[in-house]
Structure 1
Amino acid sequence: MKIIVPMAGRGSRLRPHTLTVPKPLIPIAGKPIVHRLVEDIAGVINQDIEEIAFIIHKDFGTQVPKDLIAIAEKLGAKGSIYYQDEPLGTAHAIMSAKESMSGPVVVAYADTLFRADFTLDTTADSVIWVKQVEDPSAFGVVKLNDKNEIVDFVEKPDHFVSDLAIIGIYYFKSGETLRAELQYLLDNNITKSGEYQLTDALENMKLKGMKFVPGKVEEWMDCGNKNVTVETNSRMLGFLHDDGKNLVSNTVESNNSMIIQPCYIGEGVVLTNATVGPNVSLGNNTKVENSTIKNSLVQTNSVIKNANLDNAMIGSHAKFDGNFTSISIGDYSVLE
């Protein structure tokens, strides 16, 4: 099994945090989004992962490819790096990794996390991960027949068609077939609003009689902007805590301080006269003094003083000293 992860977008809605690091490498509960994503996929497919192909932008620099390859290797897989330099749509992005498109593949967009407990139907030509939602008009949805097979894809329906929203993760039994269908779009310049779309390839495959089935997830967590990323961090901490995971490093130095679970507290963190939690992630080597922090995400090597934070997101190597509450400051920022 191979996993293909298109992630060339910079994540403009999550600025300033994505000015120095791509969104999929933003940590959630102490681990990059994309790392958690591929781990969760591995848990669902229950097969050995041969390769993880990451599609990035050339402007991401030299460290990002190294970090991504390390993530793949932690899962026992080969890591491959491909580049998409123009935003020409989902189909174009996936085709950037065409050399890795063979055998069974999973395509997963790296801006979402999920929790699921379903068995992958490897007899189907494709499995599309979906989540039941209250307002389907904001999403692409799938329509099912009485055999639980997908018979239609509808983008942002203006009347009720289905409440099963496509979350952006797909399994294909044959990577070769997917590649051929995507190549057909490119060769024939089949676009929508100037972009090559994966949904057009899915429609062509369905018309050829290929079997599509849904994989229904229990939880779907977005990381699109600051507020939902902080919320996703809180939800993930809760799930991991319920699973019995200890996310507080034994190297934490706590002086007259209290940790209210669930929390992730990284290595080398120093707490002085602080109350941290619930639902807080503090990255490695962060220092918190005379502060109360809840429902917040702080990355590595930052210093927080005299703060009362709630629904806050602070980058790495930042300094914050003040009485603001719901803040969002990026890497190397100083507010004191």
Structure 2
Amino acid sequence: MKIIVPMAGRGSRLRPHSLTVPKPLIPVAGQPIVHRLVKDIAKVLKQPIEEIAFVLGDPAFFGEDVVTKLEELAEGLGAKASIYRQDQPLGTGHAIMSAKPSLSGPAVIAYADTLIRAEFDLDPNADAVIWTKRVANPEAYGVVKLNTNEEIVELVEKPETFVSDQAVIGIYYFKDVAVLKGKLQEVLDENVMNGGEYQINDGIKRMMADGKIFKTGTVDEWMDCGNKAVTLETNTKMLGFLKADDEETLVDDSVVLENSTIVEPCFIAKNVVLKNSTIGPNVSIGEGTTVENSVVKNSLIQTQTHIKNATLDEAMIGNHVKYNGEFTKISIGDYTQME
């Protein structure tokens, strides 16, 4: 089995946090988004992963440090890492075709801006599976239309009348991804574009027209990381899941507590110092950060940051930040929000 991960976008909705760190590498509940996504997919598949192909963008932004981290992720799952570049932002179908040499055999394609919780078996009779989540407002999503055999026969974008309540979440399984490759090559050759981009849906629709059987794999949780508000919500949900699973150490043994309290669930990384502070619930703090004389809840703070004299709720703070709640001298860059 292979996993193909298109992740070439710049994540503009998550600025300023994605200005220096690619969005899929921003940690949520202690691990980068793409790490959690790939590991959760591997759990669902319940079979060895032989290759993970990552489709990156501009090398000036997705540099060698990014490549190294992704190679380590693949190796940790016993898989080969393949790195490809999407030289132009020409859509989901174009991104997949950027990994053309890896498009053979059984594969999952997963766009790296969401996290999931799921437990299901892939239908052995299906040529492909589109992973979905039942939603209360299907008119806001792209949804699948099913026939009486529970097979997907159409993809409908933001339907004005009810089609189904199963929203497409951006994760797909193909029994032989080379079939999709062939259809997407036709899309590129014929210059079939929607919104100025080549879309994966156009390849999928051609597979359906050829009689390929598509089924659904419905996930229990679908958590977005598209902007600050939903990323904080995802951090909260993920911390709750991790505490219930009890599979990961959430508070590192090296954390220094000086007259401070941790209200679970929280993730607190190595070499964090907490002084005269109350942390939690639903807080993630990255390695080497210090928090003094503060109250922090429902927040995400990254590495090597110093927080002092602050009361924070629903805050998202990046790496190497100095924040003093009693500040008079400040230096604030583009896209910063203080509310």
TM-score (norm 1): 0.95
1:56-103 deviation per Cα after TM superposition (whole angstroms, max 9, x unaligned): 112322211111111111111111110012111110000000101111
Equivalent-residue separation in structure 2 for 1:68 and 1:320 (angstroms): 31
Aligned equivalent of 2:112: 110
Output aligned runs, 1:1-336, within 5 Å: 1-58=1-58, 59=60, 60-245=62-247, 246-322=249-325
Distance (whole Å) between structure 2 residues aligned to residue 259 and residue 128 of structure 1 = 40
* Structure 2 Cα separation of the partners of residues 193 and 15 of structure 1: 24
Question: After superposition, what is the alpha-carbon deviation per residue over 1:20-74, rounded to whole angstroms, capped at 9, x for unaligned?
Answer: 0100000011000000000010011111000111111123222111111111111
Deviation at 1:236, TM superposition (A): 0.2
Report SS of the residue matched to 1:227: helix
CA deviations over 1:90-143 (Å, ceiling 9, x no partner): 100000001011110100000000101111123311000000111111111001
* Matched residue count: 329
Which ranges of structure 2 fall in alignment gaps of 5 or more residues? none
- Asked if the contact 1:116–1:218 (Cα under 8 Å) also holds between the matched residues in 2, the reply is yes
Percent of counterpart pairs with the same letter?
Answer: 62
Instruction: Give the Cα–Cα distance (whole angstroms) in 2 for the partners of residues 219 and 45 of structure 1.
Output: 16
Q: What secondary structure is seen at the aligned counterpart in 1 of 2:277?
A: strand
SS at 2:276 equivalent = strand
**Post-superposition, which runs of at least 4 consecutive aligned residues in structure 1 deviate over 4 A?**
none
Shift of 1:175: 1.7
CA distance in 2, matches of 1:122, 1:24: 31
Report how far residue 323 of structure 1 moved. Answer: 6.1
CA RMSD of aligned residues (A): 1.6
Tell me, which stretches of 5 or more residues in structure 1 are unaligned?
none
Query: Aligned pair in 2 of structure 1 residues 209, 223: CA closer, same or farther (>3 Å)?
Result: same
CA distance in 2, matches of 1:45, 1:323: 50
- Give the TM-score normalised by the residue count of structure 2: 0.94
Aligned residue type for 1:288: V
Contact 1:144 1:151 in 2 (8 A): yes
Report the Cα distance in structure 2 between the residues aligned to 1:316 and 1:95, rounded to whole angstroms.
Answer: 34
Question: Partners of 1:262 and 1:323 in 2: how far apart?
Answer: 28
